[in-house]
Amino acid sequence: MSGDVRARSDGRADVRSEIAPDAIDGSFVPLARRGVGAVVVDGEIVLGLVADGTTYLQTAALNESASIVWQCFDGSGTIDEIAADIATVFGAEPASVQGDVVALARAVGGAGFLVGVNEPVIDIRDDIFAVEVGHPFPDFAAVDDQGVPFSHATLRGHTTLLVSWSATCEFCARIAADLDELAPVLADANIDIVRLVTGDTVDGFAGLGTPVAYLVDGHGRVAQPAALGAPAVVSLARRIASKSV
Amino acid sequence: MAETRFIEPRTECGSCLASLDRMDWAASSTFGVGDWALGVRSSDIEIDHVLRKVLAAHVLDVDAPANFSALMADNRPRDFHFLYRASDALVRTRVAGRVVRTLIAHLSAFAIPSSSVIQLDAAAVVVEGRAIVGPASLRAELGSVETRLNRAGMAVVDAPTLHLDPDSSSVIVPEPALTFDADALAEYERAQPPGRGHDAVRPGRYPIAAWALVTGADLVGPVGRAQGVAAAAQQVVNADALGAQATLDAVARALQTVPISGLFWFDSGGLLSQLRDLASGA
């Protein structure tokens, strides 16, 4: 529902009447925020808005269809009315068009481009701790450094040295050769080294930086204290390789 | 001068910064740029002395957090000189003078910016006088493959921000905005043993050969121009001063005919070959 959206003098809606992007439906009246810039590039519109409290633009590139719809977001009609007009002009199925217009409004609204829509709140945890020994490593789905999807389920039945990795981390690059050297030794002991290039998005690694490593046993439980930082990761790998852990 | 302000080093890799913090630092100095007091720690006394001499006009007698770290080669086991900002490696080189020049370039970014210039937070390589421009996150990766880039005829730009000239579709590597003792720097560079590495790309105008985005594995290659403009516009540092519309118009104009390409790599060889393709127009 659209609720009682009143634009303030700065073009932003009264916060008390803003709604979440997911709450946008056919009765919502879409209107671009003041300050939103738009440029047409090869028939597609690029939107830009200086994000609150920053010096940078947040942007969105709309495809050709979305670009046509965006030009109707002028505060003069509801989504249902816009969808009906578009369906008539293009001879398209009204319900399908309405769904597409709602989806676009939710997307651009959630990105901050529409009056009356809250941007999603980002969950920032105050305290982030490494997973303790004996605790299950949290469920995750990520990609390893070979581009292979790797999930919590893959850990079952194998002892794994799970390393949070980044292609742009100088410290990761410096220990890559050490880990490569140790990999065959660990493999002989049936221990895999897996470098998660998307590790920072995984609970258990998030907020700890890169590189970070856990030794996870075949039951998916953390077997050694987390190794934080390049020297600690190599040290843990060496200790495992020498079977001194 | 207004009240001196300090900046705590910020990093997305806390463990990387902690590793740097644990190293032995022989000396540190603080330099004033605009309102900012910026700390630079050095792994040997000589480079600290050189920095204080070259940047004598900016030396402050206050302690500041270590915003930059000059980690100089010690022949064994460290063959390269590094300059870090927090934990980000800004330069990795065998040419000691490049550490000083890169520091000057990065300190210059703290001088009060001109709102009339479009400033980009970007990494770039120059090949045959033309620039391949990418996101700033590429910088560390370019540094790690620099020797191979040099062999392929590509030189890495060390400047932290580039200026965009939309009318000529060029980027400009800016002159340092700081006063520094060029004679003292030249004297230091002459005194160094000949390095095998490349010198920094000199300030000047470089037509844009290609614009690179870091994308997913399935999006390597040409990218739609609207997508490219949207991504490139996010790299404009002073969009608040320029305004959203002016920023978008300028970036769209600059990229009107420039090839825009997605990059994705699992190892440095993959990155290198994609950059080579961009350089050759493939």
Q: What is the interface pTM, i.e. ipTM, of the complex?
A: 0.78
> Smallest Cβ distance to B266: which of A58, A146, A200?
A146
Q: Which of A36, A44, A56, A146 to mutate to test the interface with B (most CBs of B within 10 A)?
A: A56
DSSP B114: P
> Smallest Cβ distance to B19: which of A54, A56, A171?
A171
Structure confidence by residue, pLDDT tens digits, A63-118? 999 999 999 999 999 999 999 999 999 999 999 999 999 999 999 998 889 999 98
Could you tell me what percentage of chain B is helix, strand and coil, using 3-state DSSP and rounding each to the nearest 5? 35, 30, 35
* Residue carrying the six token digits 């609204």: A109
Report the DSSP pairing between strands B204-214 and B260-263.
Answer: parallel
Structure confidence by residue, pLDDT tens digits, A53-62? 677 888 999 9
What is the maximal distance between C-alpha atoms in chain B?
Answer: 53
Give residue A126's pLDDT: 37
Q: Is B230 on the interface with A (CB under 8 A)?
A: yes
Give residue A83's pLDDT: 96
Give residue B87's pLDDT: 83
CA-based nearest distance A106→chain B, Å: 19
Could you tell me if A79 and A24 are in contact, meaning their C-beta atoms sit under 8 angstroms apart? yes
CA-based nearest distance B50→chain A, Å: 26
Helix, strand, or coil (residue B152): coil
Q: Inter-chain contact B249–A39, Cβ cutoff 8 Å?
A: yes
> Does the CA dihedral B60-B66-B70-B75 come out positive or negative?
positive
Q: Inter-chain contact B266–A39, Cβ cutoff 8 Å?
A: no
Report chain A residues whose CB lies below 8 A from the CB of B225: 41-42, 44
What does the pLDDT average to over B15-22?
Answer: 80
**DSSP string of B215-252?**
--GGG-EE--HHHHHHHHHTTBTTHHHH-HHHHHHHHH
> pLDDT averaged over chain A?
80
CA-based nearest distance A37→chain B, Å: 4
What does the pLDDT average to over B79-100?
Answer: 88
For residue B145, give Cα distances in angstroms to B92, B125, B139, B150. Answer: 10, 12, 10, 9
Could you tell me if A237 and A180 are in contact, meaning their C-beta atoms sit under 8 angstroms apart? no
Neighbouring CB atoms inside 10 A of B128's CB total 8
Report chain B residues whose CB lies below 8 A from the CB of A48: 230, 233, 239, 244-245, 247-248
Using CA atoms, how far apart are residues B138 and A130, in angstroms rounded to an integer? Answer: 28
Report the DSSP pairing between strands B81-85 and B88-93.
Answer: antiparallel
What does the pLDDT average to over A136-145?
Answer: 78
Helix, strand, or coil (residue A4): coil
Neighbouring CB atoms inside 10 A of A232's CB total 18
Q: Is B265 on the interface with A (CB under 8 A)?
A: yes
Using CA atoms, how far apart are residues B228 and B22, in angstroms rounded to an integer? Answer: 41
Give residue A1's pLDDT: 35
Report chain B residues whose CB lies below 8 A from the CB of A42: 224-226
Using CA atoms, how far apart are residues B10 and B8, in angstroms rounded to an integer? Answer: 6
Q: Inter-chain contact B233–A59, Cβ cutoff 8 Å?
A: yes
Give residue B2's pLDDT: 60
Could you tell me if A54 and B240 are in contact, meaning their C-beta atoms sit under 8 angstroms apart? yes
What does the pLDDT average to over B203-210?
Answer: 96
Q: How confident is the model at residue B197 (pLDDT cuts 50, 70, 90)?
A: low
**What is the pTM for the complete model shown?**
0.68
> Smallest Cβ distance to A50: which of B143, B226, B239?
B239
Give residue A11's pLDDT: 43
> Does residue B235 have a pLDDT over 60?
yes
Q: How many residues does chain A have?
A: 245
Closest A-chain CA to B252: A41
